[in-house]
Amino acid sequence: MKYFKLPDLGEGLPEAEIVEWHVKEGDEVKTDQILASVETAKAIVEVPSPQDGVIAHLFGDVGDTIHTGEPLVEYVSEESDDSGTVVGEIPTADSAASGDDFIIGAAPSTRAHLSVRATPAVRSLAKRLDVDLNGLQGSGRDGAITPQDVEQAANMNRTHGHAEPLRGVRKQMAKTMALAHAEVVPVTLCEDADIHSWPAGTDITMRLVNAIAAACKAEPALNTWFDGSSLSRRQHRKINLGVAVDTEQGLFVPVLRDIGRRSSEELRAGLDQMRADVKARTIPPKELQGATITLSNFGTIAGRYASPVVVPPQVAILGAGVIREQPVAVNGQLVVHRVMPLSLTFDHRAATGGEAARFMAEIIRVLEREFSEESNG
């Protein structure tokens, strides 16, 4: 092949950002040699060469976004202008380096997209004023970026500093949250669980996991995927729990599979491994997909109640707040007990208030029962 296109890096991952090139133009490479490290919304992935060859051209610089199906590398070829690996016309290495390149029939990369929306004069002005055209909204015809747009951006930078574009995980998180806000009809139900009977050293996360498993069995309407376009829902027999993990790069939600049929020890080991993989950015994309319901244990940081965001096609997410001591009434007496605040957000298109309330009631029942009664430890 002459052109190597960015391969599919996993379901729902249409693009990647170039983090590092491991080769340069003119290098001779072997099959499976790493060409580049790219960052998707899920992880940092190393892209190997599919063949032996000599690198003629690298498409994109560090920080550029490349879409699946776009050329990543051009190999030196003895053949004439071979553009058969991508629909439409592919520019040669010389023309691609000119800054006016774009590929017909493929989603635009960062640089290609800019070249269509800004003239050379505008790009030159942007360079002189230190304005990043990426993401700049054009006010000209068909969205073209004008000199006035560049000057306005330069004034904004001087006054407020340069904006930092979202990348990788945070960029995907923003898109996901916007989609959830547009599609879901959320309702949040809040309640407290009295956990005073829990002994010291109790694995709080595993108690929550076991409670969610029991609640999904008691009220399966919340262990469901909902399709808003066809107004249909798919109830799941297996309970695949997404567990929100906060990192400096953004929010990851690895999935604990089939929590209703696994021991607490096995689930804890699996969760520890997934968290380690998330922090190392080595978790496979498939381990971040397929959740049927989600847990956000934000109380490990701060916060009593919240309105956790339901991400379609799921219909429910449980949030656990900071455990605290507070006065409660027990047998007519005022005592101080440890209490866990809970927030359950559900998509009211797919679940009724009664179903959500029964789900919450089962969560509380399982959390409040004596530790010795726990079947899973």
Cross-strand bridge partners of residue 54: 28
**In the predicted structure, residue 11 carries a pLDDT above the cut 90:** no
Q: Which residue segments constitute the domains of the chain, with CATH numbers given?
A: 3-117 (2.40.50.100), 170-373 (3.30.559.10)
Count the Cβ atoms, other than its own, within 10 Å of residue 266.
Answer: 13
Mean pLDDT of the chain: 82
Judged by average pLDDT, the poorest of 44-48, 60-64, 83-87 is: 83-87
By percentage, how much of the chain surpasses pLDDT 70? 86
Query: How large is the average pLDDT for residues 234-247?
Result: 91
Spacing of C-alpha 46 from chain mean position: 19
**In the predicted structure, residue 213 carries a pLDDT above the cut 60:** yes
Q: What share of the chain is helix, strand, coil (3-state, %, to 5)?
A: 30, 25, 45
Query: How large is the average pLDDT for residues 46-68?
Result: 88
- pLDDT (tens digit, 9 = 90+) per residue, 151-177? 898 998 888 888 877 777 787 788 888
pLDDT given for residue 44 in this prediction:
79
Who wins on pLDDT, 122 or 256?
A: 256
**Residues 267 and 259: beta-carbon distance below 8 Å:** yes
DSSP run (H or E) holding 226: strand 224-227
* Nearest partner of 197 among 6, 328, 67, judged by Cα: 328
**How far apart are the C-alpha atoms of 255 and 271, rounded to whole Å?**
8
Judging by DSSP bridges, how do beta strands 224-227 and 28-29 pair with one another?
unpaired
Count of H-run helices and E-run strands, the chain: 8, 19
Reported pTM = 0.67
